[in-house]
Structure formats: structure tokens, C-alpha cells
Amino acid sequence: MERIEIGFLGIALVLGLIGLRVPIGAAMGGTAFVGIWAMMGWRPAVGIAKAVPFNLIGDWNLSAIPMFLLMGFIAVESGLTRGLFGAARILLAWLPGGLASSTVAASALFASASGSSVASAAAFSRIAIPEMLSSNYNKGLATGSVAAAGTLGALIPPSVLMIVFGILLDTSISTLFIAGIIPGILTAVMFVGLITVRCVLNPTLAPKVKVNATPEEKRAMISDAWPLPVLILGVMGGIFAGIFTATEAGAAGAFLALVLALVRGRITVELMRRALVDTAAGTSEIFIVVLGAALFARFVALATLPDFVIGFFSDYSTFTVLLLICVLFLILGAFLESISIMLLCLPVLGPLLIAHDVNLVWFGVLTIKLLEIGLVTPPMGMNVFVIKSAMGNRVSLGEIFNGVTWFIVIDMLTLAILIAFPALSLWLPELMAK
């Protein structure tokens, strides 16, 4: 059997194993080992299986992952995220659909600190949706806004997905972080715009809610929300100013989160124990997947799949290649988890993008945007099922998907804008480089 045939057979086997619910790291790593064994023999396969994990774990850039996870866990466990929805509600209550818009704003901040879109969707399912439903908001609008807003954490830095992308395609993580700021803000503004327009055209979707808090209560709510914006601005400001790299920013962020929690008097031994255990567990899960993907990337290279793909698409325009990649990611996003899609596709697509002289920072932003859309796309939109699980019988799955469809449409429009105007992603990185 030719190497290229073994390569395609390996991809089919990985997809089949994932469909059978085999853990993605085991599926990719095991397939890679067997494939290399079939192409080169037992000894080379064992040698590569030893060398690749050793070299990868020694990559200093990977240390950013546990540090950013620790920052997020400290922020969440110590209550630095409390008050976000209340403060956003006070500031945005005057808008039509103000509670839903408040959810977008608060969710964006929460998700960027926690690093998890699913955690954001779960948290605001319990905070925002009950309040919106008690205010007679349309169920689809209430749940759809939470599901869509949770995805902002992947694009607004710091982002674990951006770290993984940077490692896989050897792209500056700091530059990726900075590049995600304007697209992330644009997405949030587009969501708020959609909510506002829909509620203006159909006021029954979101009856106006009056905020009856006293000035003292308003000041208390806003003061309770200040630590998280300070944390995010501290991390991103340090990167933008060149005070520390993205890798160092993880440690700086974890330290700043700890200081803020101490200032607020919310640090306990049990809290730190939970944060450290959750960080170790989350890091282990990500590293196992990344190790499997690294072996799979080596297998893909040895099977000459990148050369085949480059040759196959050599006569296609860059725009056509990007369009086909977008379609591929949207289809996969409906069935697979975000990191799995990147680890499966980027080792093959990376050389093709380089051959077409595509800016990898810009493509990184597009990739994260596409993965965001996948988190709410039927039939397997993860955020949708998280909300359904949290809400039980109060909301049907059909109502959630119906509500989130509006946000998918606006996400596609935002994606088109980012493709048409690369400067939206590249202006800040270019400014930082000066």
C-alpha cells in the first residue's frame, strides 16, 4: 500500500474512532503509531512515539495553557466574576432587549477570563436566563443570546484555542491574542445590534425592564464587577506594551488574579486547592489531546498528505481555498469539539495555506470564528445542550436552536466582514510591531 493511501486510511480511521466516542487524543495518537509502523516499521514508530512527546512537552509556549487555566479558575472560584451581569444590566437596561444585551457584555468578559465557552454558557444559564424568563422575554431570545455570547471567550483573548493554533502553525501567540481583540468586540457589537433591532421590530420579544436600584446599589454592583476588567486589561495591556510575552502573560495573569482575590478577601485554602486541582485536570486533558495530535501531524507529513493537498489545490485561487476550508470547518463544527477540529485539520491545511501565502494570523482569527459558530450549530452545538441541561423542561431544545439561529446568521455576516477586511484583524498587531 502506498504512503498516501495509508494517510487517507488513517484520517478515515480517526474519524471513525471519534464517531465511536474514542477519546480524540487516543484516536489520533494510536492511529498515527499504527500508520507510521505500517509505513516505516516497528523501530521508527517507537522512536517517533518517544521523541515527539518529549520534544513537544519541552516547548516553553505550552506553559501558557496551565497558567491561563489557573488564572480563570482563581477568577471564577474567588468570585471575581460576580456582579458582571448586574453591572452590565444597569449600564445597558435602557436598550431594547437590555437584559439579553447585558448577557452578551457580561458573558464576553466572563468567557475571556474563564477560557471556556461551555463554562460561560453554563454559568449564565443559571444567572441570566431565569431573570429574562421571569421578565417575559421570548425563550428563544433568552437562551440564544446566552448560547451565542458564551462563544466569545474563544475569540476575545486570552484564549486557549489561540495558544493551540499558534503552537500547531508556529505563529506568534501574542500576535494572535492582539489580533482577536477587534474581531471579538465586533462580534459582541453585532450580537447587541441584532438583539436591539429584533426587539425594536418586535417589542413582544423583550418587554422593557425597569432598573429600580438606588444610586448606592448601582455603585455597589458596578464596584463588585471591577476586578475582572482590571485582570483582562492587565494581561492584554502587558502583552500590547511588550512588558511580557503571551507565555509570560499566563503567569502574570494568574498572579494578578491571586492578588485581586486577596484584595477582595476571597482567598481560602480550599479555594486554592480546587483551583489547582481543576487546573491540573484541565491541563492534562489538553496535553493528552495535543500529544496525540503531534504524533498524528508527524504521520500526516510522512504520508505526504500535505504535498498531495497542495498539488490538488494548486490551480485553485486563494479565495476558493479559503471558502472550501470555511465550509469544511462549519461542517465539522456541527459534530466535533473545537480543539479536535484544529488538531485534525491544521497539520494538513497549514502547508496549503503557506503555499497560497495566506497570513496565518488572519487565518487564525477566521479559524477561531468558525469554531465559535460550530459551538452553536445543530445538531451537536455544545453550548445549546449545556443550556438545555441547565434549564431542564423550562425550555425545549427546538426553542433554543430556533433562538440561536438568528445569532448564527449574524455570525456568518461577521465572518464575511472579517474575510473582506483583513485589516480588522491585522491593524492592532501591525501597530504593536511598530
pLDDT by residue, tens only, the chain of 434 residues:
688 888 888 888 888 887 787 888 888 888 989 899 988 888 888 888 888 877 777 777 777 888 888 888 888 777 777 677 777 777 777 788 888 888 888 887 776 776 667 777 777 777 788 888 888 888 888 888 888 888 887 788 778 888 888 888 888 888 898 899 899 999 999 999 999 999 999 988 888 776 666 677 667 776 777 787 888 888 888 887 778 887 788 888 889 888 888 887 778 888 888 888 888 888 888 888 888 888 888 888 888 888 888 888 878 888 899 999 988 888 888 777 787 788 888 888 888 888 889 999 999 999 999 988 888 887 777 788 888 887 778 888 888 888 899 999 999 999 999 999 999 999 988 887 76
- Whether the Cβ atoms of residue 178 and residue 156 lie closer than 8 Å to each other: no
Burial 161-190 (b: 16+ CB within 10 A, else e): bbbbbbbbbebbbbbbbbbbbbbbebbbeb
Residue 349 has a CB neighbour count (10 Å cut-off) of 23
> 347 preceded by cis ω (within 30°)?
no
- Whether the Cβ atoms of residue 125 and residue 146 lie closer than 8 Å to each other: yes
**Distance between CA atoms of residues 329 and 350, nearest Å:** 14
Number of H helices, E strands in the chain: 23, 0
**Distance between CA atoms of residues 207 and 132, nearest Å:** 10
Per DSSP, helices labelled H in 211-356 are 215-225, 227-240, 246-263, 269-302, 305-312, 318-333, 338-355
Query: Running DSSP on this structure, what letter comes out for residue 23?
Result: -
CA angle, residues 423, 427, 429, in degrees to nearest 5: 130
**Distance between CA atoms of residues 79 and 73, nearest Å:** 10
CA 415 vs CA 146, 182, 326, 370, 411: distances in Å: 20, 13, 10, 8, 6
- Whether the Cβ atoms of residue 322 and residue 309 lie closer than 8 Å to each other: no
pTM attached to this predicted model: 0.85
Using only C-alpha atoms, the chain has a radius of gyration, in whole angstroms, of 22
CA 319 vs CA 180, 218, 263, 345, 373: distances in Å: 21, 50, 51, 18, 20
